[in-house]
Amino acid sequence: MKIIIDTKENVAKRAAQRYVELLANKPDAVLGGATGSTPVDLYKELVRLNKAGEISFKDAKSFNLDEYVGLEGTHDQSYRYFMNDNLFNHIDIKMENTHVPSGIDIECPEKYDEEIKAAGGVDMQLLGIGVDGHIGFNEPGTPWDSLTHIVELEQNTREVNSRFFSSIDEVPTHAVTMGIKTIMNARSIILMATGSSKAEIVKAFIEGPITTEVPASILQLHPFTEVYLDYDAAALLSK
Ligand code: GLP
């Protein structure tokens, strides 16, 4: 794992440069998308670069990590809505090339892995991290060989995410998420974490044992993972 530590603003800018490089070398790259508050600044920077003509998504494809079960893409807390609103509506990607798992059509979630494979596999997967170490919505205990599947959300995750809803009762109880294996299949991975609330879990997944109790710890075994941290998130790292 390569660790990059900088200010919150610079972390977003430096991660955005990875997209510039990737798409310059491979204009039809397959991008793995993430939601949450962490990637918002990165997406703003990608929109700026796209408008400035420094990056083009016109031949790119994207596959997002996860979605709440039961929310239509038009719901303002669905991850499809988030992606359209924060990124896709503002860049030159073709909407038909963007994929977010459906939270409504959930009969065969593993079909999503087939679609990713058919598109050539993910070139660069973006990740945030939950305070319990979840990536996508793979909560502690998720098997390493999991493909896209339905999960029951931990109460703690629902509480943390309830800040986006009017009450915790409105936070869905289940989600569909790429599995750990789906994520590990990506050719390269960028994990971003900012803020002091992530400092403990950042230390645990980078310096602690590789354990299903800390899902992100498996990234220690991925050959091309970069971790972008601001100073607060990196505060407890020993090296
Ligand atoms: C959610 C998402 C994750 C995300 C995490 C952290 O649970 N499913 O993909 O990484 O939250 O979110 P934030 O960036 O808002 O801290």
Partners of 62 in beta bridges:
31, 98
CA 56 to CA 24: how far, in whole Å?
Answer: 8
Read off the pLDDT of each residue in 13-34 and give the average, rounded to a whole number: 98
| Predicted pLDDT of residue 71 | 96
Residue 7 confidence (pLDDT) above 90: yes
Kindly indicate the confidence band of residue 174, based on its pLDDT and cuts at 50, 70 and 90: very high
List the structure tokens of 156.
């703690």
| Predicted pLDDT of residue 215 | 98
Tell me 176's DSSP state.
Answer: E
Query: Is 215 within the bounds of a domain?
Result: yes
Query: Is 93 within the bounds of a domain?
Result: yes
Known active-site residue 123: no
Residue 239 confidence (pLDDT) above 80: no
Query: Is 44 within the bounds of a domain?
Result: yes
Kindly indicate the confidence band of residue 124, based on its pLDDT and cuts at 50, 70 and 90: very high
Known active-site residue 92: no
Query: Is 88 within the bounds of a domain?
Result: yes
pLDDT tens per residue across span 37-90:
999 999 999 999 999 999 999 999 999 999 999 999 999 999 999 999 999 999
| Predicted pLDDT of residue 184 | 98
| Predicted pLDDT of residue 64 | 98
CATH of the domain at 150: 3.40.50.1360
Element (H, E) at 5: strand 2-6
**Structural domain range at position 144:** 2-230
- Report CA(108)–ligand 1 centroid distance (Å): 24
pLDDT tens per residue across span 183-216:
999 999 999 999 999 999 999 999 999 999 999 9
Nearest to 189 by CA among 238, 115, 135, 130: 135
Q: Is the CB of residue 157 below 6 angstroms from any atom belonging to ligand 1?
A: yes
- Taking all residues of the chain, what is their mean pLDDT, rounded to a whole number? 97
Residue 7 main-chain phi, psi, to 5 deg? -70, 160
| SS3 state of residue 210 | coil
Strand order, beta sheet including 174-177? 66-68, 174-177, 149-152
Query: Is 237 within the bounds of a domain?
Result: no
Q: Is the CB of residue 125 below 6 angstroms from any atom belonging to ligand 1?
A: no
Kindly indicate the confidence band of residue 181, based on its pLDDT and cuts at 50, 70 and 90: very high
Q: Is the CB of residue 66 below 6 angstroms from any atom belonging to ligand 1?
A: yes
Known active-site residue 41: no
Give the number of domains in the chain.
Answer: 1
Read off the pLDDT of each residue in 21-50 and give the average, rounded to a whole number: 98
Q: Is the CB of residue 36 below 6 angstroms from any atom belonging to ligand 1?
A: yes
Query: Is 74 within the bounds of a domain?
Result: yes
CA 216 to CA 198: how far, in whole Å?
Answer: 12
Nearest to 87 by CA among 126, 54, 46: 46
Q: Which of 21-30, 156-165, 214-223 has the lowest mean pLDDT?
A: 156-165
Query: Is 143 within the bounds of a domain?
Result: yes
Residue 106 confidence (pLDDT) above 80: yes
| Predicted pLDDT of residue 232 | 98
Read off the pLDDT of each residue in 166-173 and give the average, rounded to a whole number: 95
Please answer whether residues 3 and 206 qualify as being in contact, where contact means their C-beta atoms are separated by less than 8 angstroms: yes
Query: Is 94 within the bounds of a domain?
Result: yes
